[in-house]
Amino acid sequence: MKANVLLLTLVLSLGLAACGEKKEPESAATAETATPAAAMEASPTAAESHEAAADAGGTVDAQGLYAAKCASCHGATGQGVADNPKLAGLTSADIESRLRDYRDGKQRGPKTAIMASMAKSLTDEQITSLAGYLGE
């Protein structure tokens, strides 16, 4: 019995000593590996919160959307390109109601079909923020 207790004490103290020795290199290694892992975790979280913000509305990048989807026909500053009408000078209310008309399939000018196909994919939020961005 006594020998067992001694052995147990010995094993425990060896175990503790081993843990104590290992502690420093182990935590250094953990710190090294933790950094990239933490960085990898951070990006999905950031993306998620960005999506959540977009879902909540109000984060439409009207300038980016215009540059990507509209500027090729209406010009970088809305000055119009070739037969495509200029948007500069229209009010936000004009632009908003025209985009909604195109999206709803209402006939406007002779080239309604072109704009209808452009407006079809726009959400209410995108229309409102494009109108705010473009309108005078």
Work out how close the CB of 117 gets to ligand HEC at its nearest, in angstroms, rounded to a whole number: 8
Return d(Cα 117, Cα 122) in angstroms, integer: 10
Smallest distance, ligand HEC to C-beta of residue 52, A: 25
Q: Which of residues 102-131 bind ligand HEC (CB under 6 A)?
A: 108-112, 114-115, 118, 130
CA proximity to 65, closest of 2, 1, 128, 16: 128
Taking CB under 6 A as the criterion, which residues in 44-103 touch ligand HEC?
69-70, 72-74, 84-85, 87, 95, 98-99
Residue number with the shortest CB distance to ligand HEC? 109
Phi-psi sector, 122: left (phi>0), alpha (psi -120 to 50), beta: beta
